[in-house]
Each structure stands twice: as structure tokens, then as C-alpha cells.
């Protein structure tokens, strides 16, 4: 029993460190590692950036020669292949560790099970599954992308209690309070891209960057614009510090496309009709190695993405306000379902407070 408690304690530390790097590793997973010997932590490490040393490398470098005979706690199966960095399982073998405790196997087909098998080949004891559920949730975006090459999409929206994202006049500043808005900027940092519809850009001229209380990375900006109405004077066009992608239809103006591309905007044609084919668009974004998207669309884009089954997680912030308005825009604008039994159900639902606002999150079941 004591060994189990110790394993969970040290793995918890490794997971805490991995979580701190969320948003920094691109399409790679976040991973933490703790090296323990004789009840003493002798090395810690976190994967901080794609293409740089993995968590195990940093932790074993800190441990040095003391790593011989130690236990290595790592939140994801050590890699066994040469990618942008050498295989971590060979680094563990070279360090002569006695035992490796793994939270979760790596779903990457190039790794899955091979790293664990390689360690056992060398006589290293391996325990798998310690705090596995927490590890899998931490890397839910990576887990989807690496197995499907389709981005993990998180829908975030803020509305009043009666489901309005703005008043009937279009006023939406501010629906929720400062704490909720700060959390949203953290969410932007934790996703590789942020996606909105052209209506949002035309109405608000947003910069779509991350304005967190601490320094954070800005996501790639994605704008769904079937007719290429994006003005060349829009802030997302003028500001070239962040990569910007426009998803459009095959019917959009070639001249307009050329103007946007000359201004530094990437334009991708999605489908063959007069509307953006969102399924095709997600596949093309995945091919561009965009593994996660924070969807902050208006009602029409939110509804279209939900209808297409492209939303993986939903985060709804509810301000404790009621604004009414027969024509006030709502969270989802789409034909909907004829029967309550056909409604999209959320599972693994959690409810939290964000200051005076309510945050409901869950995973849609299609």
C-alpha cells in the first residue's frame, strides 16, 4: 500500500510540472518526469518546447550519476524512436535506472508500447497506469491529434443565463467578469489556434491574441470567411506578429484571395461549394500540424461545428445576468433537433465558479 501511495505522490508531482507547460509544446504532448532514489528526489524535468529535450532528459541530467538504481516517474511512455530528439528510453537505459513508473502509454503509433517493451528488454522494472486518467486528460488534445491528424476543438463561449452572447443591439462588452476573461486568455495560450467567423471580425475587429496576467504564447488565428470579406485594414491582417489563416470556399474571389495573400494571410480553400466545408477544413488544418483549436465563434459557426460533430469539448461561461431580446444572438444558431431525445448530450460534466460567473464544461456525445 505504501508503494502505491509513494508512486501516486511522485507521479502527481510529475503531472503538476507537465501541466505548467501546457500550451508550450505545440502538437507534442506535455510531459513531466521525477527521478527518486532512497526516498529523495534527485531530478525533475518538463518538456518545454517542441524539438528540445524531453522531460526525462532534463530530469536525468539533473540526477547525474545518482540516477543509477533510481526510479524514474514519467507521465507518458518514454519514446523509443528518433524524432526531433533521440529516444528517451535509451537515455533511461544508459542512466542504469532500476525502475520506471509510467502514467499512460503513448497513443502515437510510432511509440505505442514500444518504449515500455524496450525498457523491459533491458531488465528494467516498469509499472504502467499510475494516475492514468489524469495523464490522459492532460494530453487530450495530443491524444486526438496523433491518432486522427484532426485538431482537437474546444468551444468556449460566454453568455447570459438566458443564453444570449450579446444584447439585441449587438453589445457584448462585457458579458462575463474579469476572472472569467482571464481564464479565457489562459485557454488561448493552451491551444495552438483560435478560430472565429468573419462576422466576429467585422463586428468587433478583434486582435485575437493572448492577454494573460503572465507572459503567454499567442495562438495561430483562424478566420472562417466563405466570401473573403475580411478587410485589409482589420487588425488581424495589419498585425503580422502572429500567423493568420483564412478558411474560405471555392467560390470566393481569386483577386480578393491574392490581395490577402499579398498582405501575409494564408488562405485555404475548403470544399467545392459556396460555403466553407468545415470537415475538409479541419483535415487541412491538421495537415498544417495544427493540433488544437479554441473555437470562439458566434452562434452560426458554433452551430455549424456542432452539427458537423467537430467539437470535442465545450466550455460555457454563464454570467448571472438575464438580458432577453427576441433578436439577441444566442450561443448556437442552427436548425436544431426535432426531439429532445436527439439533443447533443454532454458527459464528464463539471461545474465551477469563475468569480461571479458559472463555468460549465463537458464533452459532447454525438
Q: Cell triple for residue 210?
A: 493572448
Neighbours of 2 (CB within 10 A): 6
Of the candidates 278, 246, 248, 251, which has an alpha carbon nearest to the alpha carbon of residue 265? Answer: 246
Strand 99-102 to 345-354 pairing: unpaired
Tell me which of 8, 56, 121, 182 is the catalytic residue: 56
Contacts of 320 (CB under 8 A, 6+ apart): 161, 356, 357, 358
Q: Annotated binding residues, as ranges?
A: 54, 79, 88, 158, 172, 174, 188, 200, 204, 208, 211, 226, 296, 298-304
Rg for the chain, CA atoms, rounded: 23
For residues 306 and 344, the answer to whether their CB atoms sit within 8 Å is yes
| E-state strands within 108-265 | 125-128, 152-160, 193-197, 220-224, 244-248
For residues 318 and 360, the answer to whether their CB atoms sit within 8 Å is yes
Is 56 part of the annotated catalytic residue set? yes
Of the candidates 122, 113, 132, 127, which has an alpha carbon nearest to the alpha carbon of residue 91? Answer: 122
Q: Which residues are catalytic?
A: 56
Amino acid at each position: 500500500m505504501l508503494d502505491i501511495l509513494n508512486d501516486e505522490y511522485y507521479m502527481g508531482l510529475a503531472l503538476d510540472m507537465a501541466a505548467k507547460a501546457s500550451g508550450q509544446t505545440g502538437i507534442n504532448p506535455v510531459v513531466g518526469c521525477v527521478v527518486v532514489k532512497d526516498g529523495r528526489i534527485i531530478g525533475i524535468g518538463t518538456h518545454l518546447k517542441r524539438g528540445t529535450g524531453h522531460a526525462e532528459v532534463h530530469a536525468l541530467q539533473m540526477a547525474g550519476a545518482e540516477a543509477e538504481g533510481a526510479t524514474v516517474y514519467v507521465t507518458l511512455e518514454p519514446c523509443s524512436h528518433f524524432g526531433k530528439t533521440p529516444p528517451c528510453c535509451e537515455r533511461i537505459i544508459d542512466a542504469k535506472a532500476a525502475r520506471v513508473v509510467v502514467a499512460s502509454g503513448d497513443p502515437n503509433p510510432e511509440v505505442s508500447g514500444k518504449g515500455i517493451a524496450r525498457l523491459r528488454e533491458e531488465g528494467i522494472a516498469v509499472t504502467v497506469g499510475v494516475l492514468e486518467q489524469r495523464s490522459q486528460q492532460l494530453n487530450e488534445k495530443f491524444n486526438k491529434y496523433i491518432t486522427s491528424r484532426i485538431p482537437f476543438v474546444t468551444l468556449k463561449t460566454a453568455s447570459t443565463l438566458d443564453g444570449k452572447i450579446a444584447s439585441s443591439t449587438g453589445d457584448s462588452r462585457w458579458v462575463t467578469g474579469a476572472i472569467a476573461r482571464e481564464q479565457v486568455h489562459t485557454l488561448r495560450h493552451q491551444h495552438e489556434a483560435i478560430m472565429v467567423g468573419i462576422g466576429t471580425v467585422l463586428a468587433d475587429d478583434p486582435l485575437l491574441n493572448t492577454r494573460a496576467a503572465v507572459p503567454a504564447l499567442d495562438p495561430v488565428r483562424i478566420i472562417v470567411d466563405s466570401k473573403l470579406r475580411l478587410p485589409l485594414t482589420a487588425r488581424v491582417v495589419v498585425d503580422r506578429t502572429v500567423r493568420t489563416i483564412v478558411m474560405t470556399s471555392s467560390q470566393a474571389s481569386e483577386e480578393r484571395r491574392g490581395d490577402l495573400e499579398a498582405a501575409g494571410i494564408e488562405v485555404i480553400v475548403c470544399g467545392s461549394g459556396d460555403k466553407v466545408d468545415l470537415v475538409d477544413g479541419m483535415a487541412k488544418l491538421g495537415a498544417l500540424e495544427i493540433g488544437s483549436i479554441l473555437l470562439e465563434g458566434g452562434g452560426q459557426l458554433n452551430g455549424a461545428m456542432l452539427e458537423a460533430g467537430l467539437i470535442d469539448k465545450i466550455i460555457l461561461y454563464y454570467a448571472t445576468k438575464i438580458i432577453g431580446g427576441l433578436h439577441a444572438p444566442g450561443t448556437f444558431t442552427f436548425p436544431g433537433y426535432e426531439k429532445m431525445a436527439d439533443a447533443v448530450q454532454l458527459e464528464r460534466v463539471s461545474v465551477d465558479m469563475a468569480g461571479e460567473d458559472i463555468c460549465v464544461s463537458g464533452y459532447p456525445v454525438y
